[in-house]
Every structure is written in C-alpha cells, then in structure tokens.
Amino acid sequence: MYKILTFLLIFLSSINYNWASSNSPEFIIEEAAKELFENVKENKEEYKKDITPYYKIVNDVLAPILDYDSLIKQILGKQIYSTTSEKDRKRFTNALQTQLIKVYSKTILEYSDAKITILKSSSKPEAKIYIVYTELYIGKGRPNFKVNYAMMKNNKDNKWKVVEVIADGIRLVKSLKNSLAPEIKEKGLEAVIRRLESEVT
C-alpha cells in the first residue's frame, strides 16, 4: 500500500508546469514540487549516503498542502474518529505521517527524473472539490500512470489541500483505510497505533 501512496511524492517532485494564479491548486502543488525537486537535485549524492536530513525537508514542504486531519478521518471512519481521544488521533496521525514521509523521501530520490503532465483540472462546486488530472512518466519502457489529485479548501486556513489521490483508478486513501480497517477491528486502534509507532523509531 505504501508503494501505491508514493505516487503522490513522485508527482510533487517532478511537475514543471506554470500557473498564473498563486491561489490555484496547481500553483500550490507546483511550488512545493519546485522546492523538493531542486533540493534533491542539488543533494542527491549526499542523500544516497544519508537520507535522514531529507525527511525533515519533505515533511516541511508537504505538511502545509496535505490535509492530514481529513485523511485520518477518512482512514478511521466517522465512528472511530469521533470516539477517539484527541491525544490518540494525534499519535495515529504522527506515526502514519512519519512512515509516509520516509517512504515519500526514498521514492523521490529513486524517481527524481520522473516527469508529469497536467492533462486538465475540474471543480465540483457542490462538493467543494477541485481535481487536478495528471499523467506520470517514470521512464522509457515503463507504462505511464494517470494520477489525479482531489483538493479541498481547509476550513481552518482557507487554503487548498490534498484530501485524496487516485492512481490509475485506485483511491489511495480509501485503499489505506481498507488495509488498516481489519487490523483495527481485530486488535483495536491502540494496538495499531503502537505498531505504527514502533515502525518509525
């Protein structure tokens, strides 16, 4: 599942399209991509030896454009989310975020030459969702992937943030939920949180 989720970072590391509006979802993602892509190009050899410093850079860049609260709500589901303490929500978010950042960082290093084409964008006013449709090229002889990004304006800061990623028709956040739900049901959320925390230490 984490391999599928890495398409998000491949996209963020390789987009090279210019957008007029600094408030548009495309521009927000492009600016994040530019910072990540330029940094890894300048420090690629160093990161191959020790990628740890890049984890913080990736986290600092992605944190403002990923709506982690929305992602966690989707993954846990309304019932579990509403009955989980704020402390445990934060623990779950932090553990999952740390795991994903590590996977993302390694992926951008591996696929730093990937290229993305923005095919189109569309909005769904009734759902307040903005979708950016893209196609990802990761190398000669490899199939292209269609990767779409669903974004919504965050209620707290009124900024566009990613709430779902669809890679070749697969909803990644939903897939992550489906992969964790059986474990949460069988062992409980606390056990899952502890496992995630143990894997990021």
Domains along the chain with CATH numbers: 2-199 (3.10.450.710)
What is the Cα–Cα distance from 146 to 99, expressed in whole angstroms?
A: 24
The pTM is what?
0.78
Angstrom CA distances, 185 to 78, 167, 177, 200, stand at 14, 27, 12, 22
The SS3 assignment for 58 reads helix
For the chain, how many residues are written? 201
Which strands, in side-by-side order, build the sheet including 160-167? 115-124, 129-137, 145-153, 160-167, 170-171
- The backbone torsions φ and ψ at residue 174, rounded to the nearest 5 degrees and listed phi first, read -65, -40
What pLDDT does 10 receive? 53
Q: What tens-digit pLDDT sequence spans the chain (201 residues)?
A: 455 455 555 555 445 445 445 678 887 777 777 788 788 889 999 999 999 999 999 999 989 889 999 999 999 999 999 999 999 999 999 998 888 888 888 888 887 777 777 777 787 666 688 888 888 777 788 888 788 889 998 888 888 899 988 887 888 888 889 999 999 999 999 999 999 889 875
pLDDT of residue 7: 53
Quote the CA–CA distance of 25 and 28 in Å, as a whole number.
5
- Strands (DSSP E) along 105-169, which ranges? 115-124, 129-137, 145-153, 160-167
